[in-house]
Structure 1
Amino acid sequence: MSVSSPPSLEHESKVINESEPRKPIGLGSISERSAINPSPDSPWSYLKWYLTSKEGWLGDYDYLYLVTPNIWPLNRKYKHHKTPFYGLHDEVPILLTIILGLQHALCMVGSIVSPPLAIAGGAFYLDSATTQYLVSAAFITTGITTALQVMRVHLTKTPFFIGTGLLSVVGPTFDILPIAFNYTRMRYKDGTCPTASDGTPLPCPDAWGAILGSILCTVWIQVVMSFVPPKTLNRIFPKVVTGSLLLLVGIYLVGNGMQNWGGSSSCHGGEGFYALCPDTAAPRPLRWGHPKLIGLGFTVFVSIVLVEQFGSPLMKSSSVIIGLLVGCLVSGVAGYWSTSNIREAPAVTFLWVHTFKLSVDGALILPLLIMFVCEAVSCMPDILATAEISNVDIEGTEFNSRVQGGILCDGLGSLLSALGTGPPMVSQAGNNGVISLTGCASRRAGWCAAVFLVLMGIFGKFGAVFGSMPPSVLGGMQVFLYATIAVAGLRVLGLVRYTRRNRFILTVALGVGFIDIVQPDWFSQMLTYDGDSMALAGFEQGVNLIVETPFIAAAVVGVLLNLVLPQDASQMDDLIQDQAGHAMMEKQS
Structure 2
Amino acid sequence: MNKNMANNYSPKELIYGLNDRPPLKETLFAALQHLLAIFVAIITPPLIISSALGFDLGTTGFLVSMSLFVSGIATFIQCHKLGPVGTGLLCIQGTSFSFIGPIIGAGALGMVSGKLNTELALSYIFGACMVASVVEMLISRLLKYTRKIITPLVSGIVVTLIGMSLIKAGINSCGGGAAAQANGTFGSLTNLALATLVLVSIILFNRSSNRFLRMSSIVLGLLIGCGVAIGLNMINFSEISSYNHFNIPVPFKYGLNFDISAIISLGLIYLITAIEAYGDITANSMISGEPVEGPVFIKRASGGILADGFNSFLAAIFNSFPNSIFAQNNGMIQLTGVASRYVGYFIAAALVVLGLFPIVGLIFSLIPDPVLGGATLLMFGTVAAAGIKIIASTRLNRKAILVIALSFAMGLSVEMVPGILDQMPETIKNIFSSGITTGGLTAILANAFIHIKEEQE
Using structure 1 for the length normalisation, give the TM-score.
0.71
The match for 2:164 is 251
**Corresponding residue for 2:312?**
414
- Quote how far apart the aligned CAs of 1:462 are: 1.0
1:213 paired with 2:127, answer yes
Residue 240 of structure 1 corresponds to 153
Q: Paired residue for 1:168, among 77, 91, 104?
A: 91
Match among 45, 51, 67 for residue 138 of structure 1? 67
How far does the alpha carbon of each residue in 1:10-58 deviate from its partner, in whole angstroms, 9 at most, with x for none? xxxxxxxxxxxxxxxxxxx976xxxxxxxxxxxxxxxxxxxxxxxxxxx
Match of 2:453 in 1: 568
Q: Classify the secondary structure of the residue corresponding to 1:162.
A: coil
Work out whether 1:299 is the aligned partner of 2:197: yes
- Cα deviation, residue 341, structure 1: 2.5
Rounded to whole Å, the distance in 1 between the matches of 2:363 and 2:376 is 16
Cα displacement (A) at 1:166: 2.1
Q: Distance in 2 between matches of 1:441 and 1:517?
A: 42
The aligned amino acid for 1:466 is F
Contact 2:261–2:431 (CA under 8 A) maintained in structure 1: no
Q: From 159, 183, 196, give the equivalent of 1:275.
A: 183
Say whether 1:544 aligns with 2:429: yes
Query: Counterparts in 2 of 1:50-69, with a 5 A limit?
Result: none
The equivalent of 1:128 in structure 2 is: 57
RMSD across aligned positions (CA): 2.4
**Equivalent AA in structure 1 for residue 451 of structure 2:** P
Q: Check whether the contact 1:521–1:548 (CA below 8 A) recurs between aligned residues.
A: no
Between the aligned partners of 1:144 and 1:398, the Cα distance in structure 2 is 24
| Structure 1 residue corresponding to 2:222, chosen from 303, 320, 324 | 324
Contact 1:139 1:454 in 2 (8 A): yes
Query: Residues of 2 paired with 1:570 and 1:386: CA distance?
Result: 40
Q: Give the conservation status (yes or no) of the 8 Å contact 2:90–2:341.
A: yes
Q: 1:30 to 1:120 in 2, by over 3 A?
A: closer
| 1:523 alignment counterpart | 421
Partner amino acid for 1:346? Answer: N
Look up the equivalent residue of 1:559 and give its one-letter code: I
SS at match of 2:419: coil
Residue of structure 2 in register with 1:582 after alignment: none
Q: Is the 8 A contact 2:66 2:320 kept in 1?
A: yes
Contact 2:162 2:436 in 1 (8 A): yes
Residue 421 of structure 2 aligns to a residue in which SS?
Answer: coil
User: What is the letter of the counterpart of residue 568 of structure 1?
Assistant: K
Are 1:122 and 1:181, in contact at CA under 8 Å, matched by a contact in 2?
Answer: yes
The unaligned stretches of length 5 or more in structure 2 are 1-8
Match for 1:116: what amino acid?
P
Counterpart CA distance in 2 for 1:541 and 1:393 is 49
Q: Deviations over 1:240-287 (max 9, x none)?
A: 1111101110111112111101211453xx3xxx123xxxxxxxxxx2
- Aligned pair 1:404/2:302, yes or no? yes
* Deviation, structure 1 residue 329: 1.7
User: In the alignment, is residue 89 of structure 1 matched against residue 19 of structure 2?
Assistant: yes
C-alpha separation between the residues in 2 aligned to 1:85 and 1:298?
Answer: 41
User: Taking structure 1 as reference, are residues 444 and 567 closer, same or farther at Cα in structure 2, changes over 3 Å only?
Assistant: farther
Question: Which secondary structure does the structure 2 equivalent of 1:474 belong to?
Answer: helix
1:353 to partner: Cα distance: 8.7
Distance 1:336 1:394, change over 3 A: same
Q: Distance in 2 between matches of 1:432 and 1:560?
A: 33
1:149 to 66, 78, 84: 78
In the alignment, does 2:129 pair up with 1:231?
A: no
One-letter amino acid of the structure 2 residue matched with residue 164 of structure 1:
T
Larger radius of gyration: 1
- Mapped to 1, the partners of 2:170 and 2:322 lie a distance apart of 20
Shift of 1:187: 5.2
What's the TM-score, normalizing by structure 2?
0.91
> How far apart in 2 are the matches of 1:354 and 1:240?
38
How many pairs were matched up?
449
| More off after superposition, 388-397 vs 235-244 | 388-397
Counterpart of 2:102 in structure 1 is 179
Counterpart in 2 of 1:378? 276
Structure 1 455/184 Cα, relative in aligned 2: closer, same or farther at 3 Å?
A: closer
Q: Secondary structure at the match of 1:426?
A: strand
- Given residue 130 of structure 1, which amino acid in structure 2 is its aligned partner? T
CA distance 1:194–1:144, shift in 2 (3 Å): farther
Q: Tell which has more relative contact order, 1 or 2 (C-alpha 8 A, sep 6+).
A: 2
Any unmatched runs of 5+ in structure 1?
Answer: 1-28, 32-81, 155-160, 196-200, 277-286, 528-539, 576-589
Aligned residue for 1:522, secondary structure, equals helix
Match of 1:456 in 2: 354
Contact between 1:150 and 1:166, CA under 8 Å: does it hold in 2?
Answer: yes
- 1:480 is matched with which residue? 378
